[in-house]
Chain A
Amino acid sequence: MWDFQWTLQILPDLMDGLAVTVQITVLGYLIALVLGLLIAIVRRAPFVGAVLHAAMEFVRTTPLLIQVVFVFLLAPAYISPMTVGIVVIGVHYAAYTAEVYRSGIEGVAKGQWEAARALSLPARRTWGAIVLPQAIRKVIPALGNYLIATFKDTPLLIAIGVGELLTEAQQIGSASFRVVEVYTVVGFLFLLVSIPSAILLRRLERRYAAV
């Protein structure tokens, strides 16, 4: 039978797990946003760009779980599992956001580059004041989708013992055998974060699609 009292008791531990999950998501996603942008820009360079492209292709075609475990085993012991998790998730999703940025950059009309050149604008201004503002605006909805994807992938970090939500749940579940309660609550907690995020994203999408 569903024991409401008991559910309330385990909630604080699960909330701690959720806090870790959110932290990993936010930090990993920030890495993905910044790194992906840098990759998208450098990818346009002739040689380094090709190398980078191959590396990203590799990251996208191997499972995140394997990347996480692999890096965890290679990383020196003083680096915490949580840090490994954040960095690997960040780099993994950077491979995806880089593609999103790239499509945004390619969507900027050729005439914009030419007008910038005709005005002798330095590369820094051409990118920073003209190309990227237009490119990023267009891809905000697509980037947002990767926030939710990142969030949904954090439970993989259970494999390296990061104390995120699923790890907490597993510990409680195996100690009490009340698996149904535990995972029901976990499911609700995930929804608690992902539904508002999704609504927020749809709003962003509408706002930027309108232009």
Chain B
Amino acid sequence: MPPSDTRQNEEPQGVGGQSQGQPLIVFDDVVKRFGDLTVLDHLNFSVAPGERVTLIGPSGSGKTTILRLLMTLEKVTEGVIWVGDEPFSHMRRGGGQLTQASEGYLRERRKRIGMVFQQFNLFPNMTVRQNITEAPVHVLGTPKGEANARAEELLDLVGLGEKIDAHPTQLSGGQQQRVAIARALAMQPEILLLDEVTSALDPELVAGVLDVLREVAETTDITMLCVTHEMGFARDVSHRVLMFDQGRIAEEGSPEQIFGDPKEERTRSFLSSVLEKGH
């Protein structure tokens, strides 16, 4: 089922971002190395505002690294990441030259980006409410009352309204992940990064989390980058699928094309291996 919104750019976009309109995220010849290991190899792609992109590919192909670069948890080795009209991995110096972004610059820029982790990473020393209101209050300066009201709304959205004063340790994995989604949304991010958010969950808890994300996808225009092995979910929610292999894009296309008629042998064998694992 294709996404039912009114966006026009459902067309697969070429590598390098030859999309009509201004892209929101651009990876411009990005290289990421850890020591001798090249994890991202001159990577070029772009994402349009409001677009939902699923990243698939074998383990170790660099998907997590892409999200971590966007979250500024890692630094690029070469190339530049752009978000909006501004450089993101770098900043402008006098004369328009780009230099490595400073910590202060990154702190400002990454406020527009939220991330949900595979291992939830809720703060165990805080209640659910504090987890959700911490950043709005202390980063955005939202008044406490307002942040609280918003936390309640978000918890209702993820179906955990009655857990607001619980501690994370009292929740199941699926519930924790739904709180983590609420926590990320509380910052009203333009971009949401989802890294295998259901991989650490017991199978019976996966559907609840995916339903919440479907709802978020349908009711907001947040741009999403989603790494997942849940192919049904990817097909329902994403506008475009990027298949990664060894730090490069092996194939990209609409979910219908990638899942229904993959052109590349690598994509085909990857998809069949995922299906075998019973996802």
A residues sitting closer than 8 Å to B (CB atoms) are 109, 111-112, 114-115, 117-122, 125, 129-130, 133-134, 137
Q: How far is the CB of B245 from chain A (nearest CB, A)?
A: 26
B residues contacting A by CB (< 8 A) are: 71-73, 107, 110-111, 113-115, 117, 119, 121-126, 134-135, 138-139, 183-184, 187
Identify whether the interface residues of A are mostly helix, strand, loop, or mixed.
Answer: helix
Smallest Cβ-Cβ distance to B116: which chain A residue: A118
A117: chain B residues at CB < 8 Å are: 71-73, 110
B121 & A112 in contact (Cβ 8 Å cutoff)? yes
Would you call B125 and A118 a contact (CB within 8 A)?
Answer: no
On whether the beta carbons of A119 and B183 are closer than 8 Å, the reply is yes
- Distance to closest chain A CB from B43 (angstroms): 21
Q: Check A112/B123 contact, CB under 8 A, given A119-B134, A120-B110, A121-B139.
A: yes
Q: A115-B121, A130-B123, A137-B125 are in contact. Are A122 and B139 (CB under 8 A)?
A: yes
Q: Is the CB of A125 within 8 A of B134?
A: yes
Is there contact, CB below 8 Å, between B117 and A121?
no
Query: What's the nearest-Cβ distance from chain B to residue A165, in Å?
Result: 40
Is there an interface contact between B134 and A118, defined as CB atoms closer than 8 Å?
no
Bound form: Cα–Cα A118–B110 in Å: 7
- Report the separation of the CA atoms of residues A125 and B107 in the bound assembly, to the nearest whole angstrom: 14
Beta-carbon contact of B123 and A115 below 8 Å:
yes
Best-surrounded residue of A109, A117, A119 (most CB of chain B within 10 A): A119
Chain A nearest CB: distance from B260 CB in Å?
34
Residues in chain B near residue A137, CB distance under 8 A:
125
Chain A residues with CB below 8 A from B122, complex form: 115
Partner of B107, one of A114, A120, A133: A120
Q: Is B117 in contact with A114, judged by CB distance below 8 angstroms?
A: yes
In the complex, chain A residues whose CB is within 8 Å of the CB of B138: 121-122, 125, 129
**Closest CB of chain B to A211's CB: distance in Å?**
8
Which residues of chain A are near B119, meaning CB under 8 Å?
Answer: 111
Q: Can you identify 15 A-B contacts, CB atoms within 8 angstroms?
A: A109-B121, A111-B117, A112-B121, A114-B73, A118-B110, A118-B113, A118-B114, A120-B110, A120-B111, A120-B187, A121-B135, A129-B134, A129-B138, A134-B124, A134-B125
Pick the contact of B187: A111, A119, A125 (CB < 8 A): A119
In the bound complex, how far is the Cα of B114 from the Cα of A122, in angstroms?
15
Given contacts A114-B117, A130-B125, contact A120 B135 (CB under 8 A): yes
- Shortest Cβ gap from B264 to chain A (Å): 33
In the complex, what's the smallest C-beta–C-beta distance from B136 to chain A, in angstroms?
9
The residue in A112, A118, A134 that gathers the most chain B C-beta atoms within 10 A of its C-beta is: A118
Q: Report how far A129 CA is from B115 CA in the complex, Å.
A: 20
Distance of A37 Cα from B71 Cα, bound (Å): 30
Residue of B whose beta carbon sits closest to that of A110: B121
| Closest beta carbon of chain B to A101's beta carbon, Å | 16
